[in-house]
């Protein structure tokens, strides 16, 4: 911490600085609180989105095995009814 001069001019400047801090500190604290609330809100939203993504991924993984299975040949059951040229 810097050393404060013991003069009337320095006393006045310190009092002015104190008034300024007392004036703006509540506003800054309110802004800080609002930012913290927004951060918490967005963290909760992010957690919800990640949970939703996990559910979708697990649902897709359950069906992914069917897409990779190559042992079944479905061409024998599929034939066109008519061909339009």
Structure-block tokens of residue 14 = 């310190």
Share of the chain above pLDDT 70, in %: 95
Give the single-character DSSP code of 2: P
Both tokens of 64, joined, read 């992914």
**CA 29/CA 41 separation, integer angstroms:** 18
Summarised one tens digit per residue, pLDDT across range 46-85 is 999 999 999 999 998 888 877 776 777 777 788 888 888 7
Q: How far apart are CA 26 and CA 3, in angstroms?
A: 27
pTM over 0.75: no
Decide if pLDDT at 19 tops 70.
Answer: yes
Longest CA span, the chain: 104
Q: Which residues contact 14 (CB under 8 A, 6 or more apart)?
A: 4
| Chain mean pLDDT for the chain | 89
pLDDT at 1: 63
| 20: confidence class by pLDDT, cuts 50, 70, 90 | very high
């Amino acid at each position: 911490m810097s050393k404060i001069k013991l003069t009337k001019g320095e006393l006045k400047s310190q009092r002015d600085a104190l008034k300024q801090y007392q004036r703006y500190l509540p506003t800054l604290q309110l802004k800080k609180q609002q930012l913290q609330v927004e951060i918490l809100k967005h963290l909760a939203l992010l957690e919800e989105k990640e949970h939703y993504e996990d559910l979708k991924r697990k649902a897709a993984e359950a069906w992914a095995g069917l897409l990779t299975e190559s042992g079944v040949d479905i061409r024998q059951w599929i034939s066109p009814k008519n061909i339009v040229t």
